[in-house]
């Protein structure tokens, strides 16, 4: 890619990343949430890979890392669901953390936690799918 | 609320991801961890069968209880029929996972294998426990998508082709099912099975209703491989790794297909005679055509796969006969007998077909071929495989005292008592042809040839494989006890009760 594309990407990738984080942590207050924010975060990574070419990042190592993050995040989501079962009595997926004031950033009990980990999960898995396709194409070319 | 119910989904789901994380750092971790967690699930399911069969329970996820008889959250239902399916899934799952310890060493990347295996188990447990139509769809997709990946696990030409065919037909089926669910939701504004039944009852829009029933029947018919929809099954089941074939054939086509057909057509829709006759016809067709397609096969796993179609035909046929009798409103006890026979055959089929696929896997593991013509004389060198496969073959052909005999005789007696003489005749005929085809399998694989061509260096398969096969063959013998009145009342009768009495199911889920 040309210099212009690379510089522009460098400028906006961080902003996109931040916007993704914003969408995730305000998931329980505004439209959006874990899934939408996760896709935006993955978009910023994918933009960097597209602009700088596949040799910019060591793609296979990157893919191993994103797979690991994906598995960890979804595992934590399952554990959060089970924590409701363990914390108070017998109810799976129970919102057992105190709810706080509606409208505040730190409120709605366990929902922001679900949003954050679902966000990580979606970002990592969309990135993994993209990387798997790129790696497959590179392997095919050889 | 019974806290075991969500754990049936949560344990294998977290097990899958723990396999992926720790298996990366500790070599051989997932190989031993997966059988352990599925063994835990199997013991939980046996415990539930002992307790929940007579005393069904409902679980409201997140603590969202129904408000004034209207369910607001997702609910999971554990009744007699679900418990029966849970036992099948987790016991066959454990034996397949244990068998894989030796079998899967030939493949690379066994972490993926075990993670997908756990996901498939989680999906199937979710399907049979869910009391919510869309939830069923989600879990169905979890299990079936894992199955697509597992069929392609060998990544050779045949496996990929089979997996692709399975994916195309499976997606078509998912589309039909989703369209059916969408139409139901449009009309009733609810997704809870018991609630839909209540809402659909007064305004009975018949053409719409029949259309939805046909969509659902063809969708789950593809997943269950009933005969006009069977094209994917022989390829997919024969190219998967053998423990997975045992899971697919022994469990997945039941949990994702037959279970849902039975559950939805009894507990969600009103039974009407035209659909009941259609289901019976489909059952009879798959029973007869499946066996005629099977008898000419020389590839062992293809032969077994066609027999799966034929044996599932027995189940659908006998449940269909029960539906016809119920819709006519006559002879309720014969209908109960027919349905019980169908469910009994469902359980038995899991035991003997799982065992036969494990046997085929053992032969393939030793000889490296699936062609019957290249085998022969294995009876002496592989005694455990030979003995267990003899038991399984006799079970599937309906020879006493093995379990297949009792379920087939119940189906045939029910057909005769309901005066469906032609269907009874077909059932006997198919059983005889099945016997012929399995005698061919026995002869060519184990006895035919005594010359030394295949004799050299052949020995029995490793311990985990032998262990799984022996336990399965013991199950084949023990399950014949289910035919006796005391045990049948404890296990099969709760399942038939909940199916034939929708009011009971409604009271259970919504409350009064």
- DSSP states along B318-359: HHHHHHHHHHHT--HHHHHHHHHHHHHHHHHHHHHHHHHHHH
Is-cis flag, bond preceding B221, omega within 30?
A: no
What is the least distance, in Å, from the CA of A47 to any CA of chain B?
28
Nearest CA in chain A to B4: A90
Residue B415 pLDDT grade (very low, low, confident, very high; cuts 50, 70, 90): very high
Which pLDDT value is given to residue B426? Answer: 92
CB < 8 Å to B6, chain A:
81, 85, 92-93
Determine contact, residues B337/B219, Cβ cutoff 8 Å: no
Interface A-B, measured as beta-carbon pairs within 8 A, has a size of: 46
Closest to B10 (Cβ–Cβ): which among A72, A81, A90? A81
Q: Which range among B92-106, B188-202, B367-381, B441-455 has the greatest average pLDDT?
A: B92-106
Closest to A82 (Cβ–Cβ): which among B2, B10, B62? B10
The H or E element spanning position B2 is: none
Residue B209: is its pLDDT beyond 80?
yes
Closest to A71 (Cβ–Cβ): which among B2, B20, B59? B20
Which is more confidently placed, B375 or B440?
A: B440
Closest to A75 (Cβ–Cβ): which among B3, B17, B62? B17
Asked if A93 lies within 8 A of B21 by C-beta distance, the reply is no
Per-residue pLDDT, averaged over B121-131, amounts to 91
Determine contact, residues B377/B447, Cβ cutoff 8 Å: yes
**Over the stretch B27-44, which tens digit does the pLDDT of each residue have?**
888 888 999 999 999 999
The pLDDT mean for chain A works out to: 84
Asked if A93 lies within 8 A of B62 by C-beta distance, the reply is yes
Which pLDDT value is given to residue A54? Answer: 66
Which pLDDT value is given to residue B165? Answer: 92
Asked if B10 lies within 8 A of A90 by C-beta distance, the reply is no
Per-residue pLDDT, averaged over B497-511, amounts to 80
For an interface test with A, give the residue of B6, B33, B135 to mutate (most A CBs within 10 A).
Answer: B6
Domain ranges of chain B: 4-510
Asked if A92 lies within 8 A of B21 by C-beta distance, the reply is no
Which pLDDT value is given to residue B53? Answer: 65
Residue B167: is its pLDDT beyond 90?
yes
Residue B26 pLDDT grade (very low, low, confident, very high; cuts 50, 70, 90): confident
What is the least distance, in Å, from the CA of B6 to any CA of chain A?
7
Residue A84 pLDDT grade (very low, low, confident, very high; cuts 50, 70, 90): confident
d(CA B44, CA A14): 49
Per-residue pLDDT, averaged over B275-300, amounts to 91
What is the least distance, in Å, from the CA of A84 to any CA of chain B?
8
Which pLDDT value is given to residue B451? Answer: 55
What is the least distance, in Å, from the CA of A106 to any CA of chain B?
21
Determine contact, residues B245/B358, Cβ cutoff 8 Å: no
Which pLDDT value is given to residue B354? Answer: 92
Per-residue pLDDT, averaged over A106-125, amounts to 87
Q: Which residues 84-123 of A are in CB contact (within 8 Å) with B?
A: 84-85, 90-95
Structural domain for A133, as ranges: 3-141
How many domains are contained in chain A? 1
CB < 8 Å to B111, chain A:
none
Asked if B14 lies within 8 A of A75 by C-beta distance, the reply is yes
Question: Which tokens in the block code for residue B308?
Answer: 């799966």
Residue B202 pLDDT grade (very low, low, confident, very high; cuts 50, 70, 90): low
Write down the ipTM of this complex. 0.85
Which pLDDT value is given to residue B168? Answer: 93
Residue B284 pLDDT grade (very low, low, confident, very high; cuts 50, 70, 90): very high
Which is more confidently placed, B184 or A137?
A: B184
Which is more confidently placed, A96 or B260?
A: B260
Q: How far is CA B303 from CA B310, B372, B434, B437, in A?
A: 11, 10, 11, 9
Which pLDDT value is given to residue A80? Answer: 85
Which pLDDT value is given to residue B2? Answer: 77
Which pLDDT value is given to residue B99? Answer: 92
Which pLDDT value is given to residue B434? Answer: 92
Per-residue pLDDT, averaged over B202-218, amounts to 83
d(CA B133, CA B136): 5
What is the least distance, in Å, from the CA of A35 to any CA of chain B?
17
Nearest CA in chain A to B23: A68
Determine contact, residues B113/B100, Cβ cutoff 8 Å: yes
CB < 8 Å to B1, chain A:
90-91
Least confident of A106-115, B303-312, B468-477: A106-115
Residue B457: is its pLDDT beyond 70?
no
Radius of gyration of the CA atoms of chain A, in A? 18
**Over the stretch B46-65, which tens digit does the pLDDT of each residue have?**
988 888 767 788 888 877 88
Which pLDDT value is given to residue A66? Answer: 84
């Amino acid at each position: 890619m040309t210099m212009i594309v690379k510089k522009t990407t460098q400028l906006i990738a961080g902003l996109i990343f931040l916007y993704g984080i914003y969408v995730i942590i305000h998931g329980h207050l505004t439209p959006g949430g874990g899934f939408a924010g996760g896709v935006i975060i993955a978009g910023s990574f994918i933009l960097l890979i597209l602009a700088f070419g596949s040799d910019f990042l060591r793609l296979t190592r990157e893919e191993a890392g994103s797979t690991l993050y994906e598995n960890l995040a979804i595992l934590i989501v399952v554990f959060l669901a089970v924590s409701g079962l363990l914390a108070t009595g017998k109810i799976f997926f129970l919102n057992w953390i105190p709810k706080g004031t509606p409208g505040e950033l730190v409120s709605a009990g366990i929902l922001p936690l679900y949003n954050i980990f679902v966000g990580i999960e979606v970002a990592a898995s969309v990135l993994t799918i993209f990387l798997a396709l790129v790696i497959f194409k590179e392997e095919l070319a050889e | 609320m019974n806290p075991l119910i969500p754990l049936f989904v949560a344990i294998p789901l977290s097990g899958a991801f723990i396999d992926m994380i720790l298996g990366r750092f500790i070599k051989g971790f997932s190989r031993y961890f997966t059988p352990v967690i599925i063994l835990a699930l199997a013991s939980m399911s046996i415990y539930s069968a002992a307790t929940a069969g007579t005393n069904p329970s409902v679980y409201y996820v997140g603590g969202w209880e129904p408000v004034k008889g209207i369910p607001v959250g997702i609910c999971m239902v554990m009744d007699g029929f679900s418990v029966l399916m849970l036992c099948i899934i987790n016991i066959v799952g454990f034996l397949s996972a244990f068998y894989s310890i030796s079998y899967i060493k030939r493949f690379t990347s066994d972490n993926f294998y075990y993670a997908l295996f756990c996901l498939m188990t989680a999906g199937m447990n979710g399907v049979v426990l869910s009391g919510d139509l869309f939830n069923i769809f989600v879990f169905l997709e979890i299990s079936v998508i894992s199955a697509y990946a597992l069929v392609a696990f060998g990544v050779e030409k045949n496996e990929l082709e089979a997996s692709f065919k399975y994916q195309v037909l499976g997606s078509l089926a998912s589309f039909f099912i989703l369209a059916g669910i969408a139409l139901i939701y449009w009309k009733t504004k609810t997704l809870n099975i018991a609630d839909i039944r209540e809402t659909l009852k007064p305004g009975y829009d018949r053409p719409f209703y029949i259309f939805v029933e046909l969509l659902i029947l063809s969708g789950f018919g593809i997943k269950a491989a009933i005969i006009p929809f069977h094209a994917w099954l022989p390829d997919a089941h024969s190219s998967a790794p053998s423990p997975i074939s045992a899971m697919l054939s022994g469990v997945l086509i039941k949990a994702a297909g037959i279970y849902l057909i039975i559950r939805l057509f009894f507990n969600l829709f009103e039974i009407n005679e035209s659909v009941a006759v259609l289901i019976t016809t489909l059952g009879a067709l798959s029973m007869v055509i499946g066996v005629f397609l099977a008898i000419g096969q020389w590839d062992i796993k293809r032969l077994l796969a066609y027999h799966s179609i034929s044996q599932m035909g027995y189940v659908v046929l006998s449940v269909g006969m029960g539906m016809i009798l119920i819709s006519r409103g006559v002879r309720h006890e014969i209908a109960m007998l027919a349905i019980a026979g169908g469910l009994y055959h469902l359980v038995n089929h899991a035991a003997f077909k799982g065992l036969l696929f494990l046997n085929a896997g053992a032969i393939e593991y030793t000889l490296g071929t699936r062609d019957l013509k290249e085998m022969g004389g294995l009876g002496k060198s592989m005694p455990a495989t030979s003995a267990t496969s003899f038991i399984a073959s006799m079970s599937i052909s309906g020879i006493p005292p093995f379990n297949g005999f009792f379920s087939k005789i119940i189906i045939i007696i029910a057909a005769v008592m309901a005066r469906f003489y032609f269907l009874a005749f077909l059932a006997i005929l198919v059983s005889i042809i099945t016997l012929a085809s399995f005698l061919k399998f026995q002869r060519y694989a184990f006895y035919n040839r005594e010359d030394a061509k295949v004799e050299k260096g052949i020995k029995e398969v490793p311990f985990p494989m032998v262990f799984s096969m022996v336990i399965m063959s013991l199950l084949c013998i023990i399950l014949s006890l289910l035919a006796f009145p005391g045990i049948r009342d404890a296990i099969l009768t709760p399942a038939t009760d909940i199916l034939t009495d929708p009011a009971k199911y409604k009271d259970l889920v919504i409350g009064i």
